[in-house]
Amino acid sequence: MNTRLYINGDWSMAADGAEFTTSDPATGAVLATCAEAGAKDVEDAVDAARRALHDPAWATMLPSARARLLWRVADLIEKHRADLAELETRDQGQPLGVADSVSVSGAAEHFRYFAGWCTKLEGTVSPVSFPDTLHYVRREPVGVCALITPWNFPLMIAAWKLAPALACGNTVIIKPAEQTPLTTVRLIELCAEAGFPPGVVNLLTGGPSVGRALVAHPDIDKVSFTGSSSVGREIVQASSGNLKRVTLELGGKAPSVIARDADIDKAVAGNLQGALLNSGQVCAAYTRLYVDRRRADEFTEKLAAAASNLRLGPGLAPDTPIGPLVSEAPLDSVDSYVRTGTDEGADLVTGGY
């Protein structure tokens, strides 16, 4: 499989011909060879998005017409649901059931939801105390938006960012995580098929250098990023030069509290799901469990037993509850956390090395 950049309505290789490969998390086999965007590609994409922002084909499109475009994307996602779910699993590793019921379904529903907002973005008129004065608020697009997405739910989070930005009349450049670009590439193909004018939706694939170039570019008006807190700090600093609007969804440290009167069996089931959905690769995954001291032994024993019974396997295998981590880097991180915990005196009740 080979993928290209999408700039101004055209699919093309990187200007300098650079490429990178992605791998199947379950097998390590190469999945795809992808164009790796460089400085010229970033310039071309930003220029295309800026011109499209003011092109009457998009700038004066009726809100109801924008809504139909977003609805059409949702229809296309559902039409290709099975293929998208399989591609998400091959690219990211999540079990096929999760890819279908969470990633693909979530992507379609977000496009439908924000299609409804296209005709409801209203301004206001306010009374003022000055004579012969009209005071009103008019909502306009922010402008050119850089959308940088992570590797844990690549398709759904791409939809989270694309759908609202397009519903409001912005133009976009999306940069998926280099580990998992494939369903985002397919989603942009569906956007093109839906009929968005050239330059409204652009796709750049590649590594961190692409994201840095987008964030620092003076013609980017808005940055939306989902990922690590450390990169989020870099984005805030890089965006401060021209006061870009920035939205960050960063890593969490979600707690769960198991009280004295808890139903322990239900608590075990809920916490297992909350901690290990998508192999724990969720920003809101439970990473701190606070258990009433009088119930701690019972809860720990039952949670360890339930976790030990989970089967790790390829995401495409039937009834696989836990797929692989997306790549070797997070595997090394998890291993490091386990070793640090045991070195500091924690008891390892299941798993680990």
User: 19, 78, 234, 283: which one is catalytic?
Assistant: 283
Residue 283 is among the residues annotated as catalytic for this protein: yes
User: 86, 234, 249, 298: which one is catalytic?
Assistant: 249
As a dihedral over the C-alpha atoms of residue 106, residue 250, residue 248, residue 189, rounded to 10 degrees, the angle is -40
Helices 229-239, 208-216: axis angle to 10 degrees equals 30
Task: In whole angstroms, give the CA distance from residue 340 to residue 158.
Answer: 34
Give the number of residues written for the chain: 353
Q: Which two tokens stand for residue 178?
A: 């280099």
Cβ(188)–Cβ(203) below 8 Å: yes
Residue 249 is among the residues annotated as catalytic for this protein: yes
Catalytic residues, which ones? 249, 283
